[in-house]
Amino acid sequence: MATRTLPLSKRGFNFEVFMWAFTRFTVIAMYGLLLAGIIGGLIASAQTGANFGDILYWAFFPNLAENPLGQIWMTILAKLMVIAFLLSACGHGVHGVLEILDDYFTSAGARRWARNFVITYAVVASLIAMYVIWTS
């Protein structure tokens, strides 16, 4: 079976190619941020005497009043990491939704409106989420 390869100069750079690459990079970013968060939690636990269960409890239920690790973790770095994860996950999810909607909308105009609506909604929701994270 012969495989056909297209040289990079003839592929072009359109929205689909950009979103394909963006999806791959956001997955790598999410895994990297998860790993950095767990490593950071382990470093903080070595300083406070917490165990791995406490770290995971805080990661999924971050109540600052009950958990002493919350007072250490909710710094500027932690907020920036959570915002970076939020943006990576949101971008990754937007691409998935757009791929599904492209299967249902056949006309170019409908696809363009769906893309504009979904991307606008994701940007507004991300801005609201970033405000809530930053001010908490």
Query: Predicted confidence band at 117 (pLDDT cuts at 50, 70, 90)?
Result: very high
Q: Per the structure, how many domains does the chain have?
A: 1
Write the CA distances from 117 to 9, 21, 111, 130, integer angstroms: 32, 21, 10, 20
Residue 7 lies in a domain: no
DSSP 65: T
- Of 120, 100, 121, the residue nearest 111 (C-alpha): 100
Domain containing residue 99: CATH number: 1.20.1300.10
As a whole number of angstroms, the distance between CA 135 and CA 61 comes to 18
102 vs 50 pLDDT, higher one:
102
CA distances from 47 to 43, 72, 75, 80, 122 (A): 7, 10, 16, 22, 38
Per-residue pLDDT reduced to its tens digit, 66-108: 555 555 556 777 788 888 888 888 888 888 888 888 888 889 8
- pTM confidence score: 0.62
The confidence score (pLDDT) of residue 116 equals 92
Query: Does the residue 5 lie in any domain?
Result: no
**Amino acid identity, residue 99?**
E
